[in-house]
Chain A
Amino acid sequence: MSRRVYLDHNASTPVHPEVLAEMLPYFGEVFGNPSSVHGFGREARDAVDASRDRVAGFLGARPDEIVFTSGGTESDNFGVKGLAWAAGRGHVITSKIEHHAVLRTCQALEAQGFAVTYLPVDGYGMIDPDDVRRAVRPDTIAISLMHANSEVGTIQPARAIGVIAREHGVPFHVDAVQTFGKIEIDVDAFNIDLLSFSGHKIYGPKGVAGLYVRKGTRMVSVQHGGEHERRRRAGTENVPGIVGLGKAVEIRRRDMKEEATRLTALRDRLWDGVRARVPDVRLNGHPTERVPGTANIAYKHVESESIVLGLDLKGIAVSAGSACTAGSVEPSYVLVAMGVPIEWAMGAVRSSLGRSTTAEDIDYVIESVEPIVRKLRAAMPVGAA
């Protein structure tokens, strides 16, 4: 295998060298516990606070509104359960295409007696703000919607939904794990009360993330212990991770716009190249309102895992829209919610581009995928699937 092309940045990204350099001292020289009052502790505390300032500035928030967590899943659990448990009972609005971190949290809340509305999406994977308006009830205690879906990249009308949430006085949680550092987001302009974000999607380390919590939002903690994070999230802070997240955010602030333009062009080059060479393909997701680097392409009548395997053997990393494990096939629930027909949903392959992606990489992928799909289709019974 000579060439390696990583097109799975929505799953994870490599740590940026500048991020790594900034983190390294915090594994050795600066090792204190930020809660300690002595000098070692104060050094660590200063680093955590500096990172908090960077993140807050990027979101248009105040530093004391940022709570560091261990990952996007924890942030989502904290956001949704924190709002629900503070209210004690009531109704939550979410959508059918949320990440499992929100979907399964909502299901757990249902088991505890909360009511949940799972909003539908249109064929592009977009939520209709009017559906949100119609779903609001007198006992609605939270609206939790993602900013963009990881599989298809469709960007939700968060600004319009934020207005509705504010009009009804309902706290608005946004899972922005897939958009944070990729497209512009401002918590005040969008009327967002809580926002989940993560480090490893933006060239920061794994195991560090955060939740923005607007001051005054009625929340309870979901993890109890010490007085960390202003008593909102117990547990000794992951100092090197938080330092890395702060640096990653600073770099995104610097590079985001330029990279978005470049990745949008490359993503479109991929789709244009594939559809010019391979018959019976379709793009899942919104044609324009989409995260810059994401292209979900479905190959009719081919099983996506076999395309992923074929590309893997050419050194190309993409991800499958369906997963066949232990004899049960799971077409993506996101594509199903979008109404994508099964013969297309089974052959959906997501490519997510990033800072290392070049035009040559994209051309190599286009060249590679055509014979793979042709061979798979040649072995396929007509009318199967």
Chain B
Amino acid sequence: MRYSARLLEHFLHPRNAGLMRDPDGTGEDEFEGCGDLARIFIRVREGRAVEVRFQSYGCGPTIAAASAASELIGGRVVEELVSLKADEVERALDGLPDDRKHAAEVVAGAVRAAALDALRRRAA
């Protein structure tokens, strides 16, 4: 199997999948040319992402990456999430094959966008 046990576990049992009502921040990213898409919703309390939900479309690794990221960012300071790197998402999956690195990138992009959206709303 070319995918890690952790990735497969997330794929089989995705955490926090689905829509969130009235989120404090929403972000989306699409991998150009591939169509893989991730959407992240966060609820923010005292500057931290206390609740995370995701929706994703794509190959198995993208679904697993979104699930892993939803756990990874739970409780984290929103200002930090604005600069979340794909590497960190990939590490949460115990690595990705070279031709599936985009799974972590698209999910990290959606997290950054959601964090930025939450900060903008707070400032408004």
- Least Cβ distance of A2 to chain B in Å? 16
Which A residues from 319 to 353 make CB contacts under 8 A with B? Answer: 324-329, 346
Contacts known (A313-B12, A325-B99, A329-B34); A305 close to B56, Cβ less than 8 A:
no
Question: Which residues from B are CB-within-8-Å of A325?
Answer: 99
What string of 1s and 0s marks CB contacts (under 8 Å) between A352-385 and chain B? 0000000000000000000000011011110011
The yes or no answer to B18 lying at the interface (CB within 8 A) is yes
Question: Which residues from A are CB-within-8-Å of B54?
Answer: 379
What string of 1s and 0s marks CB contacts (under 8 Å) between B15-36 and chain A? 0011000000000100111111
- Least Cβ distance of B93 to chain A in Å? 14
* One of B3, B14, B55 near A375 (C-beta < 8 A): B14
The yes or no answer to B75 lying at the interface (CB within 8 A) is no
Question: Which residues from A are CB-within-8-Å of B66?
Answer: 379
Contacts known (A329-B33, A384-B37); A309 close to B102, Cβ less than 8 A:
no
Cα distance A198–B8 when bound, in Å?
Answer: 36
Closest Cβ neighbor of A309 among chain B residues: B60
A-side interface residues toward B, CB under 8 Å?
Answer: 301, 303, 305-306, 309-310, 313, 324-329, 346, 375-376, 378-381, 384-385
Closest 6 CB pairs of A and B: A309-B60, A379-B17, A381-B55, A305-B59, A384-B57, A306-B60
19 additional A-B pairs beyond A306-B60, A329-B33, beta carbons within 8 Å, are A303-B36, A305-B59, A306-B59, A309-B3, A310-B11, A310-B60, A313-B8, A324-B35, A324-B58, A324-B59, A325-B99, A326-B98, A328-B33, A329-B34, A375-B17, A376-B63, A378-B17, A379-B55, A384-B37
